[in-house]
């Protein structure tokens, strides 16, 4: 284990101490398994309230699983999912949606990871043609894989477009907390106009827990069966629920996301104006995308952990986490400065 | 939460305190996600050694997921899985094998949940017939869903039969620890002659963790991809690994299983000879299957938590856990005696 | 090619000459592909009328495909299909339903291949339990794989039970014509109380064509997409439609089925009372199930083509076809008599 | 039915009279079903020889089915298929590969529908990364969906690249005959360096029949099971085989394809140099892609049947068939000239 803070990803961090403490506190007597326990009842009730989700909230173990479960609520076998080419669901899930859902992803190239009504419209021409997978769900990532956020106006516009087009809207919210922190809005604001969302705990300081939030009541009845069938029903559910309870308590999730976002901004500010270093996406969450000289990338990677996002473009991704400190950023910036200065 | 110990299932219990402590201890600095961390390296190495598994060990979150992952290593699309009608994989996974693997389960009725070469032979007549799903894998549960254990001789005989018939042998080991405790053998003894096994942590005192143990080296290369695709790749893997490390440390898993088994035997002994109470399966693990007067069942369920396994047969299942104490059993037996006495 | 008539199956026969003639007659100028042609319009309209099917009729190539398409209209991913253990869909489709639908078959042992409300009821106990595949569709074969027919009263009783239980009823009608001929009823009579049926052309004298008949209008919209996705959309659809048009013209299908049925009855009568020969199922279509001395079976198979259905029970299946003649039956009966006489 | 020849697609045509005659001639006595008949034996032997296919040839009903069956021989669940964005398998099969195979299509934009080693190379970066679908099969269409052909040199280069990269090469040969006719080569030439191909009969003058040609012997054993499971096993197989026998007899398939190709060239020559009409792809088979004034397109469509391929680009596709006559082309060209002249 390196002593230096990783800028590789927000899942390199451990769990927030409040989360681990909650696990210990949940470790009491027998309870009914599979979610009929007080922790699950409290945590799902809290999520239901926070999102205004009449369909309820359901815990699963991973982000891929949350996406598959969420999408499976919304699709018939011949229906497809419109998403950005850069979407996690398209790029980083080893084909799980195709394998587990059997559905085609109808991808759209984007500049910043964000879909627009216009971009979605490019995939709607095949409706009614039996030779084509039928577009039925739009999935967006909030925040996107490029660290950008949909504004509330953009979300509203997408939601209205989807409703008008009889498309359903699913949100991959592995970093939804960071979006709420960036936009200064509530989770319910982010959920308005959507059908199903995931709400990521793992990257926010959990040990490993994600929630699938179902907005409409009529979508909820299928979740227990689909979750079980997809291998995501925890028998000792209390330990998933307790993690979320800890994150929801006093809005720890928001403090965690705010800290991560602030550190990304601090990092971005620290490198602004450096010769040969260019910010490549607006910093709207806890990720900084920058391009720099490949030799400088190599030199920095000797001491620091981060990913090259696109080798051809000399593009790197630097991520902060809930536990990234100002001193971590400052040390990293200082090394970048030194490297850039040659 | 009831004050009385549940006899409903071994997943009603919380986690062993050593497991929870291990989670806290693993909650240190940044580590590489997805399993490239010291906890995962140590725990998988320990499992590899304990089982003699040249293919390695891989963590997942649930028993259903372990079974699906294990079977997915062994099957082509037109191949089927021979299993007992009572198998968890057939009865209790909401059709996950059919949905996620696409494979047909070729079920065999059994008396005690156990397959034999003869029973397996009844499903081999269709080999080579293109109209029939081709039997390729045999899956057994050790211990079975009826609380019975395959002896080492039975395992050897099954393994040799499978090898001779070019069948692969998968073991659903959600309660493998209880089998080792009952048989007084090593995990490697249980794994000999098999291809892939699951090794259940959750029912043995974990928070929630299962291992897929791959015996042959040539089967291992596919696991990472299949695990990820099936939504079972933990980003913060250390927290799964730490649970297993705690269970493996000083053979805690064996002490836990032995305690549960001993309590089941104590319970069985306590009810032996009671009027109207009949033991229905040999007690070879931590489950007691008994039949008794339905009115007595109803009266007992007012105070105690357990499941009616087969209402028509007045058959109940009483399960003990790693943390069931002698006093728990004695109190329960005493109530059964009082009820039976009418 | 053997000169003797096969009693192996009704698909050993060629096609009725009227069907082949219809193919030639359809071989005219260009038409729009994929079913927008006059033959398809006429044949599907005729089927719609004959069945009283508001949802329409759709052609596919094989019986397995018809069953998969029909069932796919009726299922969500976690829902299962109740069927007889002996059902073609369970036994003879190489696991297609599990692979292509992902659904679990919930099988029931039967005496005569026929389900009853009571038998169906044995699989309904798991409703609402997230660990169990949820029964949603009942599928029956009319005629059954054992050559038996559901009476109209039995169909009505099944249909009402399914409706009361919110189960859907799918009919595998690979030999539906033979049932209509046996019962002396219309196709609409057979379709009443059902949701979707297949109507087999191939075994009735077609070159190779099956129809999926959709009773309710609201089920029809998905068929084109599912059929295409399942690889069953004929580009030159007119050649499937023309086959059905020929079979429907002047009720050729009924004459074909009546002839096959009559020949099975003639065969059954011919062997009644022979020493050592026992009829094992009532003869209600074009199949005769009989048991006889295995040495006699072997001797007969030297000259005649038929299948041993169950070697352990010395059970054979003798099938007649639309083109089986009295002389074929008489010659076969004569050989059976000679063999039985020792 | 329109009196004018359709330029919509080569599946608007009927079947060649020799094919229909072969169906009649095959309509004789009983034969063993499922392919154990003389027609199937002869036709598959002929295909095996023509392609040099040690694994054999297998009939199915549709092009989508052939692609799914062919690809299913070559893939494990986490493996993906590299294809051109314009590939039929990606665009025109209603998501069948994703649904029936569960595999991800790894698409590459192309200029002319053709993949190159360089283009394939852009999708190989993810190998070994468990988060990514693993590229395993390359599929090309010969001829492509844009009417272009891979030269033998290009095929060789692709084949060698695939072998070097441990990729398998599948060829969607719905119009393979047209490629052989264009290149003046044998089917074996087209098959060299490939693993599995489809060979389309339907667009070449069949009623409806496609062959899956398996080059390597070790791939063949799975075909019968996968074909059956995918709903593509014809019980009266002789009628599929007889179609291919007719097409193979005296190389009718080649004459048919040559005629179609010649008519496309005639059409292309006829419009070359017309004001406002632009050929958009080289004419290397039986398709002509041209752009022209949208008003002219609309006027032509009043009298002639053809498809607008890309409305935004004013791009139309004109296809000829085996039965397109010079007079058909001349009449069409004459109308295009008149329209273009305004």
Residue found by looking up tokens 């009328």 in the block: C49
Contact A14 B28 (CB under 8 A): yes
Out of A80, A98, A130, the one facing D102 most closely (by C-beta) is: A98
D92 to chain A: closest CA residue:
A131
- Can you say whether the dihedral through the CA atoms of D15, D19, D21, D24 is positive or negative? negative
Where does residue B15 fall: left (phi above 0), alpha (psi -120 to 50 degrees), or beta otherwise? Answer: beta
What residues in C contact A59, CB-CB < 8 Å? none
Average model confidence (pLDDT) across chain B? 97
- D341 pLDDT band, cuts 50/70/90, is confident
Mean pLDDT of B267-282: 96
Q: What's the CA gap between A287 and A182, in Å, rounded?
A: 12
Query: What is the side-by-side order of every strand in the sheet holding D168-172?
Result: D56-60, D210-214, D196-200, D168-172, D134-141, D79-84, D105-108
Residue found by looking up tokens 């073991």 in the block: B171
pLDDT in tens, D160-208: 999 999 999 999 999 999 999 999 999 999 999 999 999 999 999 999 9
Q: The tokens of C17 are what? A: 């000459």
D75 to chain B: closest CA residue:
B76
- Cα→Cα distances B205→A80, A97, B70, B183, C55, Å: 42, 33, 22, 20, 55
- Cα→Cα distances D29→A185, C4, C11, C19, C264, Å: 77, 9, 11, 15, 19
A230 to chain B: closest CA residue:
B96
The confidence score (pLDDT) of residue B2 equals 53
> Above pLDDT 70, what percent of chain B?
99
Q: The tokens of B60 are what? A: 């997942």
Residue A269 above 80 pLDDT?
yes
Mean pLDDT of B259-284: 97
Residue A3 above 80 pLDDT?
no
Q: Which site among B71, B225, B228, B237 would you substitute to test the D interface, given the most D Cβ atoms closer than 10 Å to its Cβ?
A: B225
- A1 pLDDT band, cuts 50/70/90, is very low
Q: The tokens of A56 are what? A: 């309820």
pLDDT in tens, B12-42: 999 999 999 999 999 999 999 999 999 999 9
Q: Which site among B18, B235, B325 would you substitute to test the A interface, given the most A Cβ atoms closer than 10 Å to its Cβ?
A: B235
D95-122: burial string, b at 16+ Cβ within 10 Å, e else: bbbbbbbbbbbbbbebeebbbeeebbee
The confidence score (pLDDT) of residue B251 equals 98
pLDDT in tens, D253-280: 999 999 999 999 999 999 999 999 999 9
**Rounded CA Rg of chain B:** 20
Q: How many CB pairs under 8 A join A and B?
A: 171
Mean pLDDT of B199-203: 98
Q: What's the CA gap between D128 and C168, in Å, rounded?
A: 46
Q: The tokens of D51 are what? A: 């392609």
Q: What's the CA gap between D104 and D98, in Å, rounded?
A: 6
The confidence score (pLDDT) of residue B1 equals 42
- Cα→Cα distances D143→A99, C205, C325, D146, D147, Å: 29, 37, 50, 8, 6
> Above pLDDT 90, what percent of chain A?
98
CB within 8 A of D212, min separation 6: which ones? D57, D58, D59, D60, D66, D69, D70, D196, D197, D198, D223, D227
The confidence score (pLDDT) of residue C341 equals 87
- Among residues C89, C40, C47, the alpha carbon closest in space to that of C68 is found at C89
3 state DSSP class of D241: helix
Out of A72, A130, A131, the one facing C77 most closely (by C-beta) is: A72
pTM of the model: 0.97
- Among residues D138, D204, D142, D215, the alpha carbon closest in space to that of D173 is found at D142
What residues in A contact C220, CB-CB < 8 Å? none
| Mean pLDDT split into 10-residue runs, chain C, 342 residues | 84 97 96 96 98 98 98 98 98 98 97 97 96 98 98 98 98 98 98 97 98 98 98 98 98 98 98 95 98 96 96 96 98 96 81
The confidence score (pLDDT) of residue D1 equals 42
Q: What's the CA gap between A104 and A208, in Å, rounded?
A: 28
B100 to chain C: closest CA residue:
C102
CB within 8 A of A116, min separation 6: which ones? A154, A157, A158
Residue A342 above 80 pLDDT?
no
- Cα→Cα distances B61→A33, A73, B208, B265, Å: 15, 22, 6, 30
Mean pLDDT of D99-109: 97
- Among residues A231, B89, A224, the alpha carbon closest in space to that of C129 is found at A224
Out of B78, B222, B226, the one facing D226 most closely (by C-beta) is: B78
Contact D134 B225 (CB under 8 A): yes
Burial label, B126 (beta-carbon count in 10 A; 0-12, 13-18, 19+): middle
ipTM of the complex: 0.97
Distance linking the first and last C-alpha atoms of chain B: 28
Mean pLDDT of B153-174: 98
- A231 pLDDT band, cuts 50/70/90, is very high
CB within 8 A of B41, min separation 6: which ones? none
The confidence score (pLDDT) of residue A291 equals 97
Q: At what angle do helices C238-248 and C38-51 cross, to 10 degrees?
A: 40
For residue A226, the distance in angstroms to the closest alpha carbon of chain C comes to: 6
Q: What's the CA gap between C224 and A294, in Å, rounded?
A: 53
Residue found by looking up tokens 């081999």 in the block: B124
Out of D5, D26, D94, the one facing C228 most closely (by C-beta) is: D94
- Cα→Cα distances D130→A88, A135, D56, Å: 13, 28, 35
pLDDT in tens, D207-249: 999 999 999 999 999 999 999 999 999 999 999 999 999 999 9
Report CA C149 to chain centroid distance, whole Å.
11
Q: The tokens of D304 are what? A: 């002639």
Q: What's the CA gap between C244 and C212, in Å, rounded?
A: 12
Mean pLDDT of B75-89: 98
Burial label, A187 (beta-carbon count in 10 A; 0-12, 13-18, 19+): buried
pLDDT in tens, D9-62: 999 999 999 999 999 999 999 999 999 999 999 999 999 999 999 999 999 999
The confidence score (pLDDT) of residue B3 equals 74
Question: What are the start-end ranges of the H helices in chain A?
Answer: 17-26, 38-51, 63-72, 88-91, 96, 117-121, 152-164, 176-183, 187-191, 223-229, 238-248, 252-271, 294-303, 326-340
Out of A99, A130, A131, the one facing D77 most closely (by C-beta) is: A99
Report CA C53 to chain centroid distance, whole Å.
18
Q: The tokens of C286 are what? A: 């074009």
Q: Which site among C78, C127, C219, C235 would you substitute to test the A interface, given the most A Cβ atoms closer than 10 Å to its Cβ?
A: C78
Q: What's the CA gap between D324 and D337, in Å, rounded?
A: 19
């Amino acid at each position: 284990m390196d002593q230096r803070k990783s800028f590789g990803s927000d899942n390199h961090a451990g769990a927030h101490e409040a989360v681990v403490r909650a696990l210990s506190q949940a470790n009491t007597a027998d309870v009914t398994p599979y979610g009929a326990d007080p922790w699950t009842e409290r945590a799902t009730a809290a999520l239901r309230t926070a999102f205004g989700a009449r369909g309820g909230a359901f815990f699963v173990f991973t982000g891929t699983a949350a996406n598959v479960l969420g999408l499976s609520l919304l699709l018939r076998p011949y229906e497809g999912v419109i998403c950005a080419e850069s979407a996690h669901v398209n790029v980083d899930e080893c084909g799980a949606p195709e394998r587990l859902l059997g559905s085609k992803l109808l991808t759209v190239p984007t500049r910043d990871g964000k879909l627009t009504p216009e971009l979605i419209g490019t995939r709607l021409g095949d409706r009614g043609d039996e030779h084509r997978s039928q577009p039925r769900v739009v999935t967006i990532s909030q925040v996107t894989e490029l660290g950008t956020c949909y504004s509330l106006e953009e979300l509203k516009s997408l939601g209205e477009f989807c409703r008008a087009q009889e498309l359903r809207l699913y949100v991959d919210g592995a970093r939804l907390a960071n979006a709420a922190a960036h936009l200064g809005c509530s989770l319910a604001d982010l959920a308005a106009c959507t059908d199903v969302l995931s709400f990521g705990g793992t990257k926010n300081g959990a040990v490993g827990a994600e929630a699938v939030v179902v907005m409409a009541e009529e979508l909820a009845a299928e979740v227990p069966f689909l979750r079980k069938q997809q291998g995501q029903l925890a028998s000792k559910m209390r330990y998933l629920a307790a993690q979320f309870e800890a994150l929801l308590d006093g809005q720890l999730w928001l403090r965690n996301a705010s800290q991560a976002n602030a550190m990304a901004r601090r990092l971005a500010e620290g490198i602004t104006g450096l010769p040969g270093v260019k910010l490549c996406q607006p910093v709207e969450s806890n990720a900084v995308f920058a391009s720099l000289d490949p030799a400088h990338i190599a030199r920095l990677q000797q001491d620091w952990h981060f990913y090259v996002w696109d080798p051809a473009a000399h593009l790197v991704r630097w991520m902060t986490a809930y536990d990234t400190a100002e001193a971590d950023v400052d040390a990293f910036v200082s090394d970048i400065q030194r490297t850039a200065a040659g």
